[in-house]
Structure 1
Amino acid sequence: MIFLLHWDPRGEVEDYVLHLVRGLRPHAERIVAMSNGALTPAGRERLESVADAVWERENVGLDAWGHKTAMERFGLDELAGFDELILMNTTFYGPIGSFASTFERMDAAEVDFWGMTEHARVVPNGFTGRGVMNRHLQSYWLAVRSRMFRSDEWLHYWENLPEIRTYLDAVLKWETELTTHFEELGFVDEVAYAGDHRTLNPAMFDPETLLDEGMPIVKRRIFFEDPMMLVNERVAAWRVALRMMESGYPADLLWPDLARHTAPRVLQTNSGAYAIDTDATSAYDAAHPLAIAVAVHVVAPSGLVRVLLSLRALPGPHDLYITVADEKTRSAVEAALAEVDDSHRAWVEVRVLERRGDRYGMEALVVALRDVIDSERYDVIVKLRAVERHRGADVQEHALASLLGTPNRTANALALLQSDATIGVVQAPIFAAGSQDLGDHPEAGFDAARSLARQLGIRVPLDDAIPLLPPSAAMLVRPAALRLLLDTTAVPSVRPHDHERDLDLLLGGARLRLITAAAGELGFRTFTTINARYAAALYDSLYFAFSGNELINAGPIAHLMYWLRKARPRVAQRVDRPYQRARRAWRTLREARGRQDEPGVEA
């Protein structure tokens, strides 16, 4: 008997949940899904297609009270007819391979309850700073044999379950106490994957060792954890994903789910969504060419010729749409078109949109070219800008070189979209070498983007500081990934001064910040393509940044230690030992806390 606890902020049911239930089906006589929160009609229908029953409740008491409610509703008399009860949630991907070997091995174990993984004992308790956090089975998977769940002790435990209002309550009053409570009553437990792990919390911070041991699940949290925490904990989430897929786990279950629930820059970093192109060969399938539209917004006509020349790298015919702010600029555009001949240019149209502050060309894209996006004629839109030669030329040149630098480079960028339906945006990287513009656009404020996202129904977490799409706004994008941005009636509640150009800047900047999140809401992820020469130029600076690892996501004390090592090495030597001891203690506390945002708690 399985009680599967589910929670989704949208009330929906992702494909990975259906896959999980189907994987459990051969090993369970009954599967009852309990949703902590209301489901959409479509979500409920999807869950009913794989579970024996689907129940909904208000999300009060988190997992503990969800399981308590499910058992009470099912009935203890009905439950008594089963040999094993499994309480689990949907905070993990699986099966990686099959659950068969796990169930076969644990069915033979003479135990009263068992879990997939455990959290080690921690002193002091990382959540309170004092006392002990007991070693415990982690609550995303708790299997209980009939001797235990039919006992008076089990009934008494749940009848007296304390009120749980917060995640901290769930950890301190339930998860970290349940194992010890029943051990002290004489019940015997076992961990399915209790190998030699290098961390207190292997489900989060040692997933590859667990995969080596044959564990058929991977925690979702790994992929949307703070990238700097994963660096410090030596977790390569991209490698975990690769191993999952090598074991047969479908990529189209993993990436769309994460795209809808993870800040775009976090997901790209954790998933390793970067392609370093050497220009050596082309991966583009010319036998099945993409229908391509090119959208160029002209900020300054002087930069248009360079853009038009770069389009010669496209692998086949394309339609060209150029947007300008006035009729005067249209004349200059027509002169540039006459100057640059391109045999691949099948169609040209120049459109006027009077938006003076549209620096990034985002308003031109979603307003002036809305019919192009909606037409379903194109597989991909190449979005570019033409800017002044003496202003932003390095950023512009870098964007063109990254996406359209050579025929092979362009073909390989398009091949990413051609070969992987989960990729919605392919972008150039931020131009960081010798440039002050690292993508932090003051006019594209976070508050304005967040306000616009609420109105557009975009619930993907937004990147806090630097948006993923660089200020060049150059990208290859599927028209379907832009759909949520086409509602031009939405205006940020955060307003600039009463000046039309300021509002255009705010809208364009906010949409720039939202491009990757809007794509993510629809299940598309973003890939960055980097040419090998630029990647080589960045290597030394990146290595230097990471060589001072304590500065990554660090506070003032770490920065002070870095300065002491450079300027006062003797002083640094005297204070380094106590400083390192303090860092180790903090790391232990932080690991114990687990940084868990999901409804299923794991200390």
Structure 2
Amino acid sequence: MIIDEKKVKRLIAYFIYDKQGIVDDYIIYMLCALKEHSSEIAVVVNGKLTSESREKLNQVTPVVMVRENKGLDVWAYKTVLDYYGWDKLVTYDEVIMMNFTIMGPVYPLSEMFESMSARDLDFWGITMYHKYEKGDPFGTIECGYIPDHIQSHFIAVRTPMLKSIEFQSYWNNMQEIKDYRDAVGCHEAMFTKRFSEKGFKWDVYADMGDGYNNHPILCATREMLEEKRCPIFKRRSFMQDYSNIIHDTVGQEAIEAYDFIDKHTDYDVNLIWDNILRLENQADIKKNMQLNYILDSKHGTDISEVLKKKRVALVLHFYFEDLAEYCLHYVQSMPKEADIYVTVGSEKKKKIIEETFSVLENNVKVILIENRGRDVSALLVGTKDFIMDYDYVCFVHDKKVTQLSPQTVGAGFSYKCFENLLPTKEFVQNVIRTFEENPRAGLLTPPPPNHGDYYITLGLEWGKNYDITVELAEKLGITVPIDKKKEPIAPLGTMFWFRPKALKLLFDQDWEYKDFPAEPNKIDGTLLHAVERIYSYVVQQEGYYPAWIFSEKGAQIEVTNLNYMVRGLNNAVFHMGPGAGNYEDVLITTKRAFGEWRMCRSALGYLEGNIVRARMYFKNESGFSEENSFLAENSVDEVSHLDNHEFLYTDLDKLGVIEELRWDPGEVGGIVVRDIHIKVLFQNNHIEEYTLSDAVSNGVMVDDGLVFIAPDPQLYFRLRTTGIIKKIVVQCDFMNSVSTQCAQKIYDKIGGKKPFKFLKKVYRKIKKVGK
């Protein structure tokens, strides 16, 4: 069917989900652009919607529906289709189902609509995912692999297909969609294949062609925008799991796309920042956006006009009397227009600074503070009366690490901080220029140390400080995501450049010296260490981002060190460990090798001695997450065969309303669950019980029960009643009938596919020969 774009009657069903019920302006921008090319827009929101956001939506369309957060986008679209009914839907030339996961447009939508309307099609999309034949990573795709398909963030369907029995039956009989795996496997991945095989014609507007990449809108974003004039891009481009991008690219995609959008289109990039800074983890944003500023320390920029309008200061906390000249060397890098504040804990130190710093042209003020709270209180208490008068501030402190030997290790940490913050006047000029040119940059910090005893910092950035940092975040009202598995982009040396207004939330706490622990202080796990890590989350909460900053010398050293370290690890893995491969392969095989070597995991749960632990995940409005999970344990006499063991999960009411359970009987393949009985006690004392017949899993039903060949066994139980749960008791009869190594080999051999008949045969054969 060819459409006359000038007379087109088009309905757009637009799906939104936001855990806070907020509709960001990027959505309104998209809807306003769509309104010019549609007869009607129906917005469906899963979950909740704030009154302010409803008002924003109603300015675009009166048709706004809020429904329970079930079924993801699939059932949101079905809700719109059901609302209009087939008699009315078939009167439209085109019905478009699209969602909030795409941003734009960066070009006039008229280009796309005019081009696609002229093509004789039954359905079409903007972008496609290319065939992936190595298997089904979701475990839900009917054909066992990912076929070519239109991505479901935008699918347009025309009248002939709207009228067809096949299309109407498809939606009338749409199965329940429990999670993302179902949404992809049961709808998105198969929709195009299913209807193309029924004789309906399809195409996409922008594509890089076969062989270039399976997922070009994420892995060739700039090319799609620049070469194919794709009008949209994925918000996920700027915060996806970095392993997704480094597998297929060098990591350039997000920053190249962002630069193109910023410099070559009219799209306001603040729409991007407003959304991702509110909702996404800063570690993901930093990696994808390559938030590293490498600045010249030999050639500066003229900032004389900036300094006429903006106020700049340096705050130095001085403690070690023998480091006055050392500090002066770096303080001299500040422009003469900058104010210098030095906090000290005694009159003697005050005199030392006044004498040593008398050579400076700057306005220098020495502040006498209490010796409590160290450098943290020096900043938060010592400067709180004036810090908000400044636009850009550098905070440093003299650093002498006495607990490490040799002392050159600690001295190297100090060098890394100072040389990446205040190496020269020219460098400081470039820092100020960087703030001016990047209005969302709120905190510029040296990278964390990784030499000597500090090597463990990489991967252990939280140390003992996660819980106390989360506690502080709650006290401050911080809502941006903090994840124990994702590192804070924090100044772990407590030295950094910042915009005071980006830390306003922290200074507004009106700290006092008594708020901080008295000396002697522990080297980890205190409020001081929590504040050290909270800086970056405060910045993000205020709508700014944290980033790393380097001098060119600092970057040279960092690149050498990281390359040396990774190469050393790879040599050990390649020659003494599981062997070579790409990053993901090496990571997976190394984890597996360590798991076998340590003998810390049995085929059942998490084994330590004679204790087995099994994890239960709880799905609420924010979905499944590690935070919404609990471990329970039971003692065992032998690992190979367990009968009717019981796991108890309590104190669950703090999770809120629960919709679904996921129980993991272990982490590796080879487990057979012969029977399971789950008793759920709700807050209102209502009790529900579930058995194996109620479970959806990634296992295979064979003779003895539910067999898990694949690693990470999972059983899902959809609750008949959603509500607040007090406790859960799990009684399970399970055993290790197939060895972990054998199960892994089978799984690897079939490439993660799930040909059930094949697995059943393999399992029975293994059992027969006693393998």
TM-score with structure 1 setting the length: 0.82
1:291 and 2:311 matched: yes
Is 1:127 the counterpart of 2:138 in the alignment?
Answer: yes
- Which is worse superposed, 418-427 or 546-555? 546-555
The 5-angstrom pairing of residues 133-148 of structure 1 reads 133=145, 134-148=147-161
Aligned to 1:233: 248
C-alpha distance 343-363 of structure 1, shift in aligned 2 (>3 A):
closer
**Match among 221, 224, 232 for residue 236 of structure 2:** 221
Instruction: Specify the alignment match of 1:386 in structure 2.
Output: 398
Query: Which one of the candidate residues 268, 289, 292 is aligned to 1:250?
Result: 268
Query: Which structure carries more helix by proportion?
Result: 1
Secondary structure of the structure 2 residue equivalent to 1:555 = helix
1:502–1:71 Cα change, 3 Å: farther
CA distance in 1, matches of 2:564, 2:37: 51
CA shift at 1:247, angstroms? 2.7
57 and 517 in structure 1: CA distance in 2 versus 1, 3 angstrom threshold? same
Partner of 2:454: 436
Aligned to 1:576: none
- Deviation readout 1:64-118 (Å, 9 max, x if unpaired): 1111122333455554443211111111221223322221111111111111222
Alignment deviations for residues 245-285 of structure 1 (CA, whole Å, 9 cap, x no partner): 23313332233433333332332222122222223432353
Give 1:412's aligned residue. Answer: 430
What's the secondary structure of 1:340's corresponding residue? helix
Amino acid at match of 2:262: M
- Tell me the CA shift for residue 287 of structure 1: 0.9
Q: Which structure 2 residues correspond to residues 525-544 of structure 1 after superposition, within 5 A?
A: 525-544=545-564
Q: Does 1:509 align with 2:526?
A: no
Give the secondary-structure state (helix, strand or coil) at the position aligned to 2:386. helix
Q: Is the 8 A contact 1:297 1:364 kept in 2?
A: yes
The 3 A distance-change label for structure 1 pair 80 and 503 is: farther
| Corresponding position of 1:335 | 352
Give the structure 1 partner of residue 294 of structure 2.
Answer: 276
Which of 456, 460, 471 is residue 451 of structure 1 equivalent to? 471
Partner secondary structure for residue 382 of structure 1: strand
Q: Which moved more, 1:135-144 or 1:7-16?
A: 7-16
Identify the residue that residue 108 of structure 1 maps to in structure 2: 118
The higher radius of gyration belongs to 2
Structure with greater strand share of residues: 2
**Residues 288 and 445 of structure 1: is their aligned pair in 2 closer, same or farther, counting only changes over 3 Å?**
same
Q: Structure 1 CA distance, aligned partners of 2:588 and 2:123? A: 46
On the 8 A contact 1:256/1:525 being kept in 2, the answer is: no
SS at match of 1:287: helix
State whether residues 30 and 52 of structure 1, in contact with CA within 8 Å, keep that contact through their aligned partners in structure 2.
Answer: no
Match of 2:670 in 1: none
Corresponding residue of 1:162:
175
Question: For the residues of structure 1 that align with 2:749 and 2:297, how far apart are their CA atoms?
Answer: 45
Note if contact 2:372-2:518 (Cα within 8 Å) is conserved in structure 1: no
The answer to whether 1:180 aligns with 2:178 is no
Residues 421 and 46 of structure 1, relative CA distance in 2, 3 Å threshold: farther
8 Å Cα contact 1:424-1:524 kept in structure 2: yes
Within 2, Cα distance between the matches of 1:503 and 1:400?
Answer: 21
Question: Structure 1 126/558 Cα, relative in aligned 2: closer, same or farther at 3 Å?
Answer: same
Could you list the per-position Cα deviations for residues 322-367 of structure 1 after superposition, in whole angstroms to 9, with x for gaps in the alignment?
A: 445x5xx3531332222212544335251524535x4xx3344334
Q: Of the two structures, which has the highest relative contact order with CA contacts closer than 8 Å and spacing of 6 or more?
A: 1
Q: Which amino acid aligns with 1:297?
A: H
Q: Which runs of 5+ in 1 are unaligned?
A: 491-495, 562-578, 590-603
Q: 1:157 offset after TM fit, Å?
A: 2.3
Matches of 2:518 and 2:399, distance apart in 1 = 26
Counting only pairs closer than 5 Å after superposition, residues 181-220 of structure 1 correspond to structure 2 as: 181-194=194-207, 195-211=209-225, 212-220=227-235
- Distance in 2 of aligned mates of 1:86 and 1:69: 14
Query: 1:296-336: per-residue Cα shift (whole Å, max 9, x none)?
Result: 33454443443344222222433344445x5xx35313322
Contact 2:480 2:537 in 1 (8 A): yes
Corresponding residue of 2:57? 47
Q: Which moved more, 1:2-11 or 1:277-286?
A: 277-286
Q: 1:366 aligns with which of 366, 380, 387?
A: 380
Question: Quick one: structure 1 residues 415 and 455, their matched pair in 2 at CA, closer, same or farther if it must change by over 3 Å?
Answer: same
1:319 aligns with 2:333: no
Partner of 2:498: 477
May I ask how many residue pairs the two structures share in their alignment? 560
Which amino acid is the alignment partner of residue 113 of structure 1?
A: F
Partner amino acid for 2:539? Answer: A
- In structure 2, the partner of 1:592 is none
Q: 1:441–1:331: structure 2 CA closer, same or farther, 3 Å change rule?
A: farther
Q: C-alpha distance in 1, partners of 2:749/2:557?
A: 34
Aligned 8 A contact 2:465 2:524 in 1? no
| Letter paired with 1:48 | N
In 1, the alpha carbon distance for the partners of 2:347 and 2:750 equals 65
Counterpart-to-counterpart distance in 2, 1:546 and 1:502: 32
Q: What is the TM-score when the length of structure 2 is the normalising length?
A: 0.65
Paired with 1:161 and 1:442, the residues of 2 have a C-alpha distance of 45
Query: Does residue 310 of the first structure (1) align with residue 330 of the second (2)?
Result: yes
CA 1:395–1:441 in structure 2 vs 1: closer, same or farther (change >3 Å)?
same
Q: Report which stretch shifted further, 470-479 or 60-69.
A: 470-479
Q: 2-side partners of 1:401 and 1:78: how far apart?
A: 68
CA positional deviation for 1:288 = 2.4
| Aligned residue in 2 for 1:260 | 278
CA distance in 2, matches of 1:277, 1:20: 36
Tell me the secondary structure at the aligned position of residue 187 of structure 1.
coil
Q: Is the contact between residue 319 and residue 398 of structure 2 (CA under 8 Å) also seen in structure 1? A: yes
**C-alpha distance in structure 1 between counterparts of 2:268 and 2:313, whole Å:** 31
Amino acid of the structure 2 residue aligned with 1:217: I
Q: Counterpart amino acid of 1:156?
A: S
